[in-house]
Amino acid sequence: MGGRGRLATGVVWSLLVLGAAGAGRSQEPAAPRPQVLDEVIDVRVVNVEAVVTDEASQPVAGLGPADFRLLVDGREVAIDYFTEIAAGRAVPAAATGAESPVSPIEPAAAVGRSYLVFIDESFSVASLRDKVLQRLAADLALLGPEDRMAVLAFDGEHIEVLAAWTSDRIDLARALEVALRRPTRGNQLLAAERSRAADLDFAVEVVSELNTEQEIETMLREPMQRRANPEARSQLGRTAAAMAAAVRAFELPPGRKVMMLLSGGWSLRVAPQLFGPLIEAANRLGYTLYPVDVAQGDAQILRGFDVLARATGGRVAGSVKQSVLREVAADSGTYYWLGFSPTWKGDDRAHTLAVEVRRPGLTVRTRSSFTDVSKRTDTLLRAEGVLLFGGAAQEHRIQVTMGGMRPLGRRGKVMDADISFGIPVEALAFHPFEDGFAAEVPVALSALDEEGGRAEMPGLQLSVMVAEVPPPGSFARCNTTIRLRRAPQRLVFTVPDAIRGTVLWGEARITVEPEP
């Protein structure tokens, strides 16, 4: 899950204690069993926001559902829901037949947007970042009555929440003021990278009269490209992973989801190769990406990243000379909302999405995929969310106890750590099984080291079996052996509460000294 790939290397589930406190006591009445359904029908809707423009790149109004084709994995599917949104409000639908898609939004109702502002301090140039933030603060009045915003800052290692989701413009202005006072590293990293690029251009110019273009590529350009500033390249990997983690793990808001990425990392030519996980995460959760250059990046690189952003339905959002929020608000506030209900299998398979307009001369911009997320993956995403942004106190109900830790190998760079944790039985959905009862429990585990490196463990589906349903207040317990890098780190466990539909969590800290 991004990070530096330095943490967990494996999990060995060594022993399951399948009973629980209070199990097997015939004299105690069993707690009422929750109803067990043989089949669960998932009616989630996939929302597809489609921006339609003409040959002059101006938004096109007045289209109806019959003007669109919605394709999933190359096959046309029915559009179940349809609404035209103009300037953040639902447009009254024209009279249509009884079998036409319905609009779940009242005519003229405000349609909220959720703006997630991610400030990448690792590659931002302070003077340019500050201009964008100042314009952003001045334009907070553009937020509509149903809009909200959150502000995150990434210092190169850790993500800090400067403002959680809120519609309070005063709180947002304060968060942006705090962001203005935080340091950036863009000047140092980008200067080193541009110096390397300048050396390359000069060397190519010197030898160009003596060699063919193919020889130049083989003899000079390719080797020097591989000599890219390692610090900048490594940092960009961490930055791209942090952006993807913010999409996956931060609290998912309602309404249309927009992410504004303030960074200068696009200036590295390797950038498009590293942002695949961000694009996948954005499409999975329905975020539209709007990158904002705060380092005056190369125009060619920005055009390349614009192609990637358009895979989520977004585009590069101007520069420091423009009102970025005004531009993003205008682009994300006028679109067509298409909804459909696929047959959900929970198999983590990605499906391609495409929207076509039957009228000639029009262009559509929308996200290119969605993912049929499994319960196991959803639980792992929740674990990452708790790890990075904290969890609700009332859901901190997983008991975690650390046991022995054993260094492995000659150098002791990894270790096996024994951990025991307990799950409240009232969160388990028991069903009759053989001579007793059983419950299935997907468990997720994520780890974070002191330098911001993250890792996820392989998920596991536990089977908890008891002779009788235990009373409330008892715990189903299991012991695990986890293989980790030998370094201080924090571990977070999450399991879904099958009764209430929430996610429970617990944590443990590894405080061993790092390897020599």
DSSP string, 296-341: ---HHHHHHHHHHHHTBT------TTS-HHHHHHHHHHSEEEEEE-
Contact 316, 293 (CB under 8 A): yes
| Cα–Cα distance for residue pair 172/180, rounded to 1 Å | 12
Strand partners, 491: 447, 508
Same domain, 258 and 380: no
Same domain, 329 and 382: no
What is the model's pLDDT at position 191? 63
Q: Which of 283, 299, 333 is the last residue of a domain?
A: 333
Looking at the domain assignment, is residue 516 inside a domain?
A: no
Mean pLDDT across the chain: 80
Residue 403 has pLDDT above 60, yes or no: yes
What is the model's pLDDT at position 230? 73
> What's the whole-model pTM score?
0.77
Same domain, 122 and 253: yes
How many CB atoms within 10 Å of residue 173? 15
Percent of the chain with pLDDT over 90: 36
What is the model's pLDDT at position 457? 66
What is the model's pLDDT at position 271? 79
Q: Per 3-state DSSP, what percentage of the chain is helix, strand, and coil (rounded to 5)?
A: 30, 35, 40
pLDDT digits (tens, 9 = 90+) for 34-86: 333 333 444 578 999 999 999 999 999 999 999 999 999 999 999 999 999 99
Same domain, 34 and 120: no
Same domain, 118 and 253: yes
- The predicted model gives 305-321 an average pLDDT of 84
- The predicted model gives 365-391 an average pLDDT of 84
- The predicted model gives 19-37 an average pLDDT of 36
Looking at the structure of the chain, the number of domains it has is 2
Contact 135, 325 (CB under 8 A): yes
| Cα–Cα distance for residue pair 121/153, rounded to 1 Å | 7
pLDDT digits (tens, 9 = 90+) for 206-227: 444 444 445 444 544 444 344 4
Contact 256, 289 (CB under 8 A): no
What is the model's pLDDT at position 143? 94
What is the model's pLDDT at position 217? 46
Looking at the domain assignment, is residue 91 inside a domain?
A: no
Q: How confident is residue 105, by pLDDT bands cut at 50, 70 and 90?
A: confident
- The predicted model gives 319-332 an average pLDDT of 84
Q: Which of 333, 356, 391 is the last residue of a domain?
A: 333
Looking at the domain assignment, is residue 403 inside a domain?
A: yes
Query: Which pair of tokens denotes residue 5?
Result: 């790939």
Q: Which of 388, 402, 389 is nearest to 511 (CA)?
A: 402
Rg (CA), the chain: 26
Same domain, 498 and 387: yes
How many CB atoms within 10 Å of residue 86? 16
Same domain, 321 and 408: no
pLDDT digits (tens, 9 = 90+) for 236-272: 888 998 999 999 889 999 889 999 999 988 777 777 7
- Give the domain extent around 484: 10-40+375-510
Cα-to-chain-centroid distance, residue 240: 11
Same domain, 296 and 428: no
User: 345: burial class by Cβ within 10 Å (0-12, 13-18, 19+)?
Assistant: exposed
DSSP β-ladder status, 349-357 and 369-372: antiparallel
Same domain, 463 and 412: yes
What is the model's pLDDT at position 9? 36
Same domain, 23 and 133: no
Looking at the domain assignment, is residue 88 inside a domain?
A: no
Looking at the domain assignment, is residue 106 inside a domain?
A: no
Looking at the domain assignment, is residue 274 inside a domain?
A: yes
What is the model's pLDDT at position 152? 97
What is the model's pLDDT at position 91? 92
pLDDT digits (tens, 9 = 90+) for 138-171: 999 999 889 999 999 999 988 999 999 999 999 9
Strand partners, 401: 420
Instruction: Give the CATH number, domain containing residue 243.
Output: 3.40.50.410
Residue 96 has pLDDT above 60, yes or no: no
- The predicted model gives 418-431 an average pLDDT of 86
- The predicted model gives 463-470 an average pLDDT of 82
Q: How confident is residue 516, by pLDDT bands cut at 50, 70 and 90?
A: low
Q: How confident is residue 8, by pLDDT bands cut at 50, 70 and 90?
A: very low
Residue 401 has pLDDT above 50, yes or no: yes
Task: Tell me which amino acid residue 18 is.
Answer: L
Residue 308 has pLDDT above 50, yes or no: yes
| Cα–Cα distance for residue pair 235/453, rounded to 1 Å | 11
Percent of the chain with pLDDT over 70: 79
Same domain, 387 and 445: yes
Contact 117, 150 (CB under 8 A): yes
Q: How confident is residue 472, by pLDDT bands cut at 50, 70 and 90?
A: confident
- Extended strands (E) in 3-112: 10-20, 46-53, 68-72, 75-77, 81-86, 89-90
Instruction: Give the CATH number, domain containing residue 18.
Output: 2.60.40.10
Residue 27 has pLDDT above 50, yes or no: no
Task: Tell me which amino acid residue 204 is.
Answer: V
Buried b (16+ CB within 10 A) or exposed e, 216-244: beeebeeebeeebbeebeebbbbbbbbbb
What is the model's pLDDT at position 219? 44
| Cα–Cα distance for residue pair 234/121, rounded to 1 Å | 15
Q: How confident is residue 10, by pLDDT bands cut at 50, 70 and 90?
A: very low
Residue 172 has pLDDT above 80, yes or no: yes
Same domain, 414 and 487: yes
More confidently predicted of 504 and 116: 116
- The predicted model gives 430-447 an average pLDDT of 84
Looking at the domain assignment, is residue 253 inside a domain?
A: yes
Looking at the domain assignment, is residue 90 inside a domain?
A: no
What is the model's pLDDT at position 35? 35
